[in-house]
Chains A and B, each alone.
Chain A
Amino acid sequence: MGKVWKFGDDVDTDQILPGRYAPYLTGEAALARHAFIEHRPEFARAVRAGDIILAGRNFGCGSSREYAPLALKRCGIAAIVARSFARIFFRNALNLGIPLFESETAAQEIADGQEVELDVAQGMLVAGERAFPLRPPPAFVCEILHQGGIVEYYRKHGRFPGEPDP
């Protein structure tokens, strides 16, 4: 079980982790403390391992800074469910092994702070009596997530997704 942290559309990387709190300025150890520090200051204080981010369209737009999804991972975010993701953020989060799912309805119908259960294998987000099916990610995405990220995937297979075995 985890709590839902709900966000709107077009949440950008400066909201997730403002540039002025980048690890090269403030040190990597402080990263988790700075997630949403200006956009939603209570987030870093109250977030618990296993919580889920639920967002609207184009989550993570803007910069290629990988430390934005890394900050969320360090906070213990178990998954991000959004109506859609910005391209670079999606890839960065996937590389770090953060489960990402698209759902048109979950973000609209589940309330902020609600307790939910995520069933990754079944692709289902359960909130009380209601179950929201999540769009199954492509096979290569599932495999990267299964390995825990792209570095683990690469170390295990010795190749990139889409490449024949060496």
Chain B
Amino acid sequence: MGQTLSEKIISRAAGHEVQAGDLAVVQVAMTMTVNSIAESVIKVLRQELGAKRVHDPERVALFVDHVAPACNPATADGQVLLRRFALEEGIDRLYDVGRGICHQLMIEEGLVQPGTVALGSDSHATTYGAIGAFGTGMGATDIALAFARGKTWLKVPESIKVQVHGAFSPGTTAKDLILWLIGRLGAEGASYRAVEFHGMEGSSLASRMTVCSMTTEMGAKAGLVPPDDLIRQHYPVPGWLYPDADARYVQEIMIDRSKIQPQVSLPHQVDRVAPVSQVQGVQVHQVFLGSCTNGRLEDLHLAASMLSGRHIARGVRLLVIPASHRVLADAVADGTMSILLAAGATVGTPGCGPCLGRHLGVLGAGEVCLSTSNRNFQGRMGSPEASIYLGSPATAAATALAGFIADPREYWQ
């Protein structure tokens, strides 16, 4: 029988043929951790496992992106520890304060390659499926074991096939598609499974990353897009890296992009999804444009196209945090930043920003935020009495202009 994309990648990494349900031990091409988790990883690696060195420093990447620059001495100490670890282990791939978000850099810097297994100590490692890698998130102990062995063990997931067709109508984006899908399947609708997106030709790499990153919000182990010419232009794609026509899927879903309307997740669950028209008018205090889900140049361009020549509403803060230093530099070079600043935006250091509620835009009690990030759990971005709505960069721009949740189609220009 044919294989899904995940089965093919895991078979290669295991060195023998596997199918969904098998327990497999696989070669991990790249394992990454971030400063908020690294201390735990290092402790397990050195104290509990007694490992003298990481297995292969060439297959490890380290990022200082969660609360960077540091906000207090404890956080600063953790970052010092990570830098020392990189030196001691001879790990060259340390991306320090301001370089950007781990997942963005994993792809932007070519740290992850199509057809390989890559692990991250962060759930949004599913992002790597955008270039046809099997990326999955694990906890500190699993990451430490992968550092020590260069391998991990996993159960080969069943796959859900999402067949996409049609074109988005103006003001609607890949974020709306993935929010709609999460609303349809629910927070555990893809639990333990991989989600394979077909028909994504014509979709940018940035859009694919948005879609794959959020598959974890429905419990998915991985989210993947079979590589096409767009990916081949930038990454080496092995000839075998395609899902077989007779691969077995546990569920198939068709999505007509032209029928998708702008969507938002309502507080406090990602899968409480509604068309933006249903919550139009909810007063907002902060708009956050950024995160590994929507902090790329494409997202900034979209927002700038709507904010150009206009100004955000009184009483609203628009925080723009580019996903990487390169995104920031490109947005400065092509004039996007000037447009955003003229519209009243505040720009922060590339990194995770307020998505995780620890600095750079923490919410107070009673505040409402429209965020392009990926989680709206209660207390996620600060006070448990704050409310977070998730939406696309276009919805974010419209909302910043209006001062309340607004339909981007009404502000399209």
- Point out residues on A near B: beta carbons under 8 Å: 10, 12-15, 18-20, 22-27, 38-39, 57-58, 61-67, 84, 86-88, 91-92, 95-96, 140, 149-151, 154-155, 159-163
CB–CB B44/A160 < 8 A: no
Determine if A84 and B188 form an interchain contact, defined as CB atoms under 8 angstroms apart.
yes
Given contacts A18-B357, A63-B123, A151-B48, contact A162 B137 (CB under 8 A): no
Bound-complex Cα distance A160 to B72 (A): 38
Chain B residue numbers with a CB within 8 Å of A26 are: 74
B221 within 8 A of A: yes
The docked-state distance in angstroms from the alpha carbon of A162 to that of B362 is: 44
The closest CB in chain B to the CB of A63 belongs to: B123
Set A58, A62, A66, A149: member contacting B375, Cβ < 8 A? A62
User: What residues on B are CB-neighbors of A159 within 8 Å?
Assistant: 25
Give A73 to B187 CA distance when docked, in angstroms. Answer: 25
Report Cα–Cα, A162/B18, bound state, in Å.
12
Contact B379 A18 (CB under 8 A): yes
- Are A22 and B142 neighbours in the complex by a CB distance under 8 Å? no
Question: Which single member of B39, B74, B153, B384 contacts A162 (CB below 8 Å)?
Answer: B153
The 7 closest A-B pairs by CB, nearest first: A162-B23, A66-B139, A160-B153, A92-B139, A58-B188, A14-B377, A64-B137
Known: A19-B357, A61-B187, A163-B25. A14 touches B137 (CB 8 A): no
Q: Is the pair A22, B139 in contact by a Cβ cutoff of 8 Å?
A: no
6 A-B interface contacts by CB (under 8 A): A62-B123, A64-B121, A65-B37, A66-B140, A149-B141, A162-B153
B residues less than 8 Å from A63 (CB atoms): 122-123, 375
User: Please, which residues of chain B bring their CB within 8 A of the CB of A151?
Assistant: 44, 48-49, 141, 145
Which residues of A sit under 8 angstroms from B35, Cβ to Cβ?
Answer: 24
Could you tell me the distance between the alpha carbons of A14 and B178 in the complex, rounded to whole angstroms? 22
Question: Counting CB contacts under 8 A, is B394 at the interface?
Answer: no
Q: How far in angstroms is the closest Cβ of chain A from B374? A: 10
Closest Cβ–Cβ distance, residue B55 to chain A (whole Å):
13
Q: How far is the CB of B349 from chain A (nearest CB, A)?
A: 18
Q: Establish whether residues A64 and B377, one from each chain, have CB atoms under 8 Å apart when the complex forms.
A: no
B54-75 interface bits toward A, Cβ cutoff 8 Å, 1 = contact, 0 = none: 0000000000000100011011
Interface check B269, CB cutoff 8 A:
yes
Contact between chains at B378 and A38 (CB < 8 Å) = yes
B139 x A161 contact (CB < 8 A)? no
Closest to B50 in A: A155
B348 at the binding interface (Cβ < 8 Å): no
- Residues from chain B with a CB closer than 8 A to the CB of A64 are 37, 120-123, 137-139
Q: Are B378 and A23 touching (Cβ within 8 A)?
A: no
Contacts of B380 in A (CB 8 A): 14, 19
B153–A163 CB distance below 8 A = yes
Write out the residue numbers on chain B whose beta carbons fall within 8 Å of the beta carbon of A95. Answer: 139, 141-142
Is B375 within 8 A of A25, CB to CB?
Answer: no
| A27 and B74 form a contact (CB under 8 A) | yes
Among A22, A58, A161, contact of B36 (Cβ-Cβ < 8 Å): A22
A61 and B120 CA atoms in complex are apart in Å by 17
Complex contacts, A66 vs chain B, CB 8 Å: 37, 40, 139-141
Give, as a whole number of angstroms, the nearest-CB distance from B50 to chain A.
8
> Any chain A CB within 8 A of the CB of B78?
yes
Beta-carbon contact of B221 and A87 below 8 Å: yes
B74 near A25 (CB under 8 angstroms)?
A: yes
Q: Let me know if B36 and A24 touch, CB within 8 A.
A: yes
Q: Is the CB of B121 within 8 A of A67?
A: no
Chain A residues, CB < 8 A from B67: 25
- The reply on B118 being an interface residue by CB < 8 A is no
